[in-house]
Structure 1
């Protein structure tokens, strides 16, 4: 088993194509073809975490946050970032960061917060734009059914709770191959008309490569005519944040105490109480003040996130219980989430949860 095997599995769960543009995700240090000895899972890759990986004989660190966020111009050990990277390179340890790819996954960071709070009937708070693409192709009528099935098997045609969705139009295709052509139907240098089916299917954009491979491998024509469009439609399971419902409405103070216990935080900063029960709750792990407007628009009773600034609390407008539970605290269960997925998939390899507490914030 190689490091690349772990990477491929993680990217099947949280494709990097859905990471935010500002982010730096993927393999940051190391060679993916290196044989895997063990994996350490952490929120942050600090020098102490690399030392823990050395002690546990792990040559892969799966980190939520990327240690290299902006470009490094030198490696002299003058900063905590440089020291961590240097130590990892010296000991041939690979570093992989998943960050906002996991934030935008329906099973990711925010789903785990919902698990902790017992929220049900979940939906994405901020669906990501331009995540759905449409393939249109033209195939002889007798080959349409087989080609559709191959496209479905590659992941095309899923819409919400429905699969094998397509739209088909019958028509006449024309072509004339030159002397070097080898047409499947017809002969070179002779104009040909063929009864064809126009097949249209949609797919999430991270599947584009596999969809095209299926199309080109199973389409009967020598030259395959196709078009791909990016749609404005949003994907129901891709995006930041999550909205869910409590099993029963709670009084606001009771709710905040419940959050404090379930999220294991010693401090919650919150806006003024509204004097109304809490039932519909939005969550967004990490810095999520930009989504306050979306929570108001969705009619949420409460919103849990982190890194909310002084003036941003005013945006609650007395209509939303806005609670800052802490950046680390909102993401701390992500390590366990990754560990559970990896140990279930790779049952014979060692995956360790990092013991190093990487929270840089302390409370008196």
Structure 2
């Protein structure tokens, strides 16, 4: 398999289109057409990880965090980033990063945290907007059903847990073919009226190219009339963080002890305890201070995240217990998620979980 074939598979889980604008995701180093001898999955790409890839004959490193985040102006080996890139290039090792694309995936980082902690029926904490679009087109009555079904196959008509969603209105379309036209129906120079169906279908923005290609290919007209607009609807299958419930209520102290054990946290920082039972828990892997308000609004008793600053703990406002377990600790199981996904999608292929410890923070 090539690098591109494997990364295309990963994009079924976390399309790069859904990464945050500030991020740097995708193939960062290497040739997309290179044949892959093995895949090494890691949280961070450090020199020790590249050394591990070399030893294990893996020439593709799939990394959660991007080793190149901002532009590189030189490659002299003076920084750890430059040394990683140079060593990867020297040994023909490709590096691919997913980062916030996987953060935003319903089956990504936060889903894995929920799985580890036994949080049931998790939902997206901060659903994304601007990712749902609507296609409107006009097709002759006799071709409407065929076109609709082809658009469904291309990814249109999916809303939450529903598929094959569409709306149609019958009417009369008019057009006058000019000189040089090759009309499917009608005659050049004559005004033509045709019984048509107005089709409307919503879709996730990542499917737009495929849907429009399908529309043009299967539409009977020489010139296809259509429009695409972006909707304001929240995408319940895409966004940051998750919130759900645990099976049985626990005391705050028991929850903290449980989190520390399950998440292998060296230390936990938390806001003032409220001495109330815990049933609902919100999570957001990595730096999650921006989601404190959303966690409170969701009715969560506890919000687990990382990188909270001193004054941000005040934002608990006596309404929630904020729990900071560390950046690495919230995301450490992400590489297990990716290995399991790849082994399921491409069985009998060399996919290896990195054993290199990349957490830069130590505890005394």
> TM-score under structure 1 normalisation?
0.99
| Counterpart mapping for 1:231-242 below 5 A | 231-242=231-242
**How many Å apart are 1:358 and its aligned residue?**
0.4
Distance in 2 of aligned mates of 1:346 and 1:162: 28
2:205 match = 205
**How many Å apart are 1:221 and its aligned residue?**
0.4
1:288 match = 288
Does the residue aligned with 2:156 lie in a helix, a strand or coil?
coil
* Contact kept? 2:156, 2:211, Cα under 8 Å: yes
* Structure 2 residue 215 is matched with structure 1 residue 215: yes
Distance in 2 of aligned mates of 1:359 and 1:94: 22
Distance in 2 of aligned mates of 1:295 and 1:151: 37
1:31 match = 31
Distance in 1 of aligned mates of 2:101 and 2:161: 23
Q: How many residues align?
A: 364
1:261 match = 261
* Contact kept? 2:138, 2:196, Cα under 8 Å: yes
Distance in 2 of aligned mates of 1:8 and 1:121: 28
1:277 match = 277
Distance in 1 of aligned mates of 2:356 and 2:181: 64
**CA-to-aligned-CA distance 1:108-147 (integer Å, 9 cap, x gap):** 0000000011111211001112110110000001111111
1:117 match = 117
| Counterpart mapping for 1:89-108 below 5 A | 89-108=89-108
* Structure 2 residue 93 is matched with structure 1 residue 78: no
1:311 match = 311
* Contact kept? 2:128, 2:236, Cα under 8 Å: no
* Structure 2 residue 167 is matched with structure 1 residue 167: yes
Does the residue aligned with 1:73 lie in a helix, a strand or coil?
coil
Distance in 1 of aligned mates of 2:307 and 2:102: 19
Distance in 1 of aligned mates of 2:140 and 2:163: 23
Distance in 1 of aligned mates of 2:126 and 2:160: 17
User: Quick check: 197-206 or 150-159, which moved more?
Assistant: 150-159
Query: Which aligned runs of 4 or more in structure 1 are off by greater than 6 angstroms?
Result: none
> TM-score under structure 2 normalisation?
0.99
Distance in 1 of aligned mates of 2:356 and 2:155: 40
Distance in 1 of aligned mates of 2:342 and 2:298: 34
**How many Å apart are 1:287 and its aligned residue?**
0.2
**CA-to-aligned-CA distance 1:86-107 (integer Å, 9 cap, x gap):** 0000111100000000000000
Distance in 2 of aligned mates of 1:329 and 1:16: 24
* Structure 2 residue 5 is matched with structure 1 residue 5: yes
Does the residue aligned with 1:237 lie in a helix, a strand or coil?
strand
2:189 match = 189
**How many Å apart are 1:61 and its aligned residue?**
0.3
- Unaligned stretches of 5+ in structure 1? none
* Structure 2 residue 37 is matched with structure 1 residue 62: no
**How many Å apart are 1:161 and its aligned residue?**
2.2
**How many Å apart are 1:349 and its aligned residue?**
1.2
* Structure 2 residue 339 is matched with structure 1 residue 339: yes
Distance in 1 of aligned mates of 2:114 and 2:121: 10
Does the residue aligned with 2:282 lie in a helix, a strand or coil?
strand
Distance in 2 of aligned mates of 1:161 and 1:283: 22
**How many Å apart are 1:25 and its aligned residue?**
0.3
Distance in 1 of aligned mates of 2:93 and 2:121: 41
* Contact kept? 2:44, 2:358, Cα under 8 Å: yes
Q: CA RMSD in A?
A: 0.7
**How many Å apart are 1:213 and its aligned residue?**
1.4
- Unaligned stretches of 5+ in structure 2? none
Distance in 1 of aligned mates of 2:200 and 2:342: 36
**CA-to-aligned-CA distance 1:298-341 (integer Å, 9 cap, x gap):** 11100000000000000000110100010000000001000000
Distance in 2 of aligned mates of 1:345 and 1:290: 34
Distance in 2 of aligned mates of 1:269 and 1:288: 14
Does the residue aligned with 1:238 lie in a helix, a strand or coil?
strand
